[in-house]
Every structure is written in C-alpha cells, then in structure tokens.
Amino acid sequence: MNEKTAAPRRDQSSVLHSTFSVERSYPVPPARVFFAFANEATKRRWFAEGEGWEVFEYTLDFRVGGSEISRFRFKDGPEVRNDTIFQDIVPNRRIVFVYRMAVASKPLSASLATVELVPSGSGTLMTYTEQAAFLDGADSAQGREEGCRELMEKLAAELQSSI
C-alpha cells in the first residue's frame, strides 16, 4: 500500500488541476441574470456571438442532464467546440455545469463550473467558480480566468442593452 494526499499539481501525464473564483456585480435582480443563462437566444448573444467570432452551431437544453453545444472560431482560427452538461439548477440562484473544450478536435480541458447568484441591494452579486483540468499542457489557468472575465463583461453588456 502506498497512499498519500497531495496538493493538486501538474503530474506525469500532464493534467493541471486549477480552481479559480471570480465575483461580478450586475445592476439587475438575480432573476434577470438567471434568464440570461437559461434562455437560448439570450445566452447565444452574449456567450457565443461577438465581433470576429463565427458560430457554426449553438444549442441549449437548459435542464439538469441537458446539453449546451457550441462550435465556433475566432477569425481564421481553428474550430473550438464546447460541450456543456448541466449538473444542478436552482432557479434564480445556482447553476452547476461541466464543460469540455476541444480545439481542432483535440481535447483541451474539462471543467466543473458553479454560478451562484445572490441579491445585493437592487442588483446581483454573481460568483463564478471554475474547477478545471487542463489536458496535456494545452491551456493555462490564467488564460481561462481572463476568458471568463471577458464573458462576464459581455453578460454585463447584454443585461444593459435589455434593460
């Protein structure tokens, strides 16, 4: 027997485990933020669309066990695929999902993500926590966190435009 508990680290088969958490306030109540995750047309606008991005496929089946599939590319870049499956949904309060990303069919990462929405005055405090496994050194935790912050800004713009 040879057992020990070890801190997460990059190991022999090149999986890097990383967790980060980001908070963002929005000036609308939790139900409005939740809707932006739950409604396919709205989610597509802030999550998949954008200048320079070409969306090949976007579908959302927002229920526990349901899938969200997006395939897209940025300018002339390779096709990126995101396969999401919802793990837990508490309306207006919490969304837990797993997503796998692949670039040009090569697996990049698998992540467990938690979105928590808490009323804050007349607005919402959103906490996004991602527990990620980056495969074969294909991505970095820092780049992922930056990407998530950009998405949170896109969500802010979506919420602003629909007030």
How many other C-beta atoms lie within 10 A of the C-beta of residue 18?
Answer: 19
Dihedral sign for Cα atoms in the order 8, 9, 15, 20: positive
The bridge status of strand 67-74 relative to strand 53-60 is antiparallel
Q: By CB under 8 A, tell whether 88 contacts a second copy.
A: yes
Q: By CB under 8 A, tell whether 59 contacts a second copy.
A: no
Candidate list 44, 87, 103, 141; residue touching a second copy; CB under 8 A: 87
Closest CB 52 distance from a second copy, rounded Å: 23
Length of the chain: 163
Candidate list 31, 55, 85, 138; residue touching a second copy; CB under 8 A: 85
Q: Which phi-psi region, left, alpha or beta, contains residue 65 (left: φ > 0; alpha: ψ -120 to 50)?
A: left
Q: Which residues bind a second copy (CB under 8 A)?
A: 1-9, 11-13, 15, 17, 19-25, 65, 83, 85, 87-88, 90, 93-94, 96, 98, 100, 107, 110-112, 114, 116-118, 125, 127, 129, 131-133, 135, 145, 149, 152, 156
